[in-house]
Amino acid sequence: MPPQKPSKTKRASAGPRAGAERSQTANAPEQGPQRLQKILAAAGVASRRKAEELITQGRVQVNKETVSTLGAKADPQHDDIRVDGKRVHAVETFRYFMLNKPKGFVTTTSDPEGRPTIMEFFARIPLRLYPVGRLDYLSDGLLLVTNDGGLMQKLTHASSHVPKTYLVKVSGVPAEDALNRLRRGVSIPLGKPGSNEGRVKTAPARIRTFREGDNPWYEVTLTEGRNRQLRKMFEHVGHHVEKIRRIAYGPLTLDVEPGEVRELTPIEVRALQRAATAKAPDRSDAGERTEGKQARPALAAKKFLRAGIRSAGRPRR
């Protein structure tokens, strides 16, 4: 079946819900002189670390003068800032969106293989937007998209520990001992298959049964986001992952249909900002503590199922 194409009624600017909240959600960026690397990150040019490299390589100009010293400042509203001669435009307002990404879309702004990208759902938004983290081509569910480069970097940084909750359907029924190994953390390969980049031990994960069956669904909460992590984790204990659906990201729970976009409310944005800077909890026994408990995302997901929204539609056994 070909990947689902975004319809006009599902684009970010089309629905009345998104339009009604736009003025509430617009957050003004910081004013006045700022460090260059912060300006470049906020504009979505690069991460702060990459921006520092651009500066030290002499690729950044301010008012036609090359700046190669870290710590240099500029005013994004008034100074002419360029990278490799290309003007960096100041962000006038920050906007934040939740997309229910369908399968068959890549989570990038462009794709060299010509596959459809999630930016098709934002074609009517005249802003340079970026996805926060990734969902792979065959996965679906909650994806954040914004032009707030600073918040994006905080949320995706390894030290943020923002929890992300998924519904995962696997082939066969893992033994309880195998699930406990996943809860404690297992060694998985880094990078893409065959890359030989070494291995890393995953952080403790919360795992509980969401729906029993010959090919059960599990609710899994991670505090990191390594490449194809869920698939590698279950493959490590001998079970192939059939489906992955993200249903929660930090304080946000998925509540829109596949291919639909809505703008976040000011309360949701502030909750995300708090989550991005919160101190990491002690997760030494995270997996063991939550087995059998009804965590908030699980309750939300079941309510979502009862509502009949296809995004988290009733899994088939």
Cβ atoms within 10 Å, residue 102: 23
Helix (H, G, I), strand (E, B) or coil at 297: helix
Question: What is the pairing mode between strands 140-146 and 241-249?
Answer: parallel
Reported as a single tens digit per residue, the pLDDT across 42-84 is: 777 877 788 899 999 999 999 999 999 898 999 988 899 999 9
Q: Could you say which of 136, 214, 255, 282 is catalytic?
A: 136
229-236 and 176-184 helices cross at what angle (nearest 10)? Answer: 130
149-156 and 266-277 helices cross at what angle (nearest 10)? Answer: 50
Nearest to 134 by CA among 154, 163, 105, 94: 105
Q: Are 221 and 291 in contact (CB under 8 A)?
A: no
Q: What is the DSSP letter of 249?
A: E
Q: DSSP letters of 179-221?
A: HHHHHH--EEE-SSTT----EEEPPP-EEEEEE-SSS-EEEEE
Q: What is the pLDDT of residue 250?
A: 93
Reported as a single tens digit per residue, the pLDDT across 93-146 is: 889 999 999 999 999 888 889 999 999 999 988 888 889 988 999 999 999 999
34-87 carries CATH number 3.40.50.11740: no
Cβ atoms within 10 Å, residue 269: 21
Q: Is 136 a catalytic residue?
A: yes
- The residue that leads in pLDDT, 101 or 37, is 101
CATH of domain 13-28+94-307: 3.30.2350.10
Please give the Cα distance from 135 to 225 (Å, whole number). Answer: 10
- Residue 194 makes CB contacts below 8 A (sequence gap 6+) with none
Element (H, E) at 41: helix 36-42
pTM over 0.75: no
Please give the Cα distance from 107 to 118 (Å, whole number). Answer: 6
Count CA atoms closer than 13 A to 244's CA, side-chain side: 24
Reported as a single tens digit per residue, the pLDDT across 246-278 is: 999 999 999 999 999 999 999 999 999 999 887
- 3-class SS shares of the chain: helix, strand, coil, % to 5: 30, 25, 50
Domain ranges of the chain: 13-28+94-307, 34-87
Q: What is the pLDDT of residue 192?
A: 73
- The residue that leads in pLDDT, 192 or 66, is 66
Q: Which two tokens stand for residue 32?
A: 């006045």
